[in-house]
Structure 1
Amino acid sequence: MAAFSSLSEFRALLAQMPAPDSQALEGAEARNGQLTKPPGALGRLEDLAIWYAGWRGSDQPRVGKRQVIVFAGNHGVTAQGVSAFPPEVTVQMVANFQHGGAAVNQLSRVAGAEMSVHALDLDTPTADFTQNAAMSEAEVVAALTTGWNAVDADSEVLVVGEMGIGNTTSAAAIANALFGGEASDWTGRGTGIDDAGLSVKTRVVAEGVARHASEDALEVLRCLGGRELAAMAGAIASARAKRIPVILDGFICSAAAACLAQAQDGALDHVVAGHLSQEGAHGKLLAALNKNPLLALNMRLGEGSGATLAINVLVAAVECHSGMATFAEAGVAAG
Structure 2
Amino acid sequence: MINPKVCVVGSGAVGSVVAARLSSVSSNVHLVSRKGGGEHLIKNGLTLVSSRGDYYAENLSIVDDTGGLGPQDIVILAVKAHQVLDTVESLFPLIGSSTSLVTMQNGIPFWYFYGLRKKFGFEYLESVDPAGKIYVKISHLNIIGAVLYLAAEMESPCKVRLLEDSLLPLGEIRGNFKTTRVVNICDLFKNSGFNCQISQNIRDEVWLKLWGNCTFNPVSVLTSQTLAEICNSTEGNLLINVLMNEVKKVGEQYGAKFKITVAQKIEAAKKVGHHNTSTLQDIRNKKKTEIDALLGSIIELASIADVPVSNLRTIYTCCRLLEEKVLKLNKSENV
Structure-2-length-normalised TM-score: 0.30
Considering Cα pairs closer than 8 Å and 6+ residues apart, tell me whether 1 or 2 has the greater RCO. 1
Q: Which structure would you say has the larger Rg? A: 1
TM-score (norm 1): 0.30
Q: Report the structure, 1 or 2, having the larger strand content.
A: 2
Structure with greater helix percent: 1
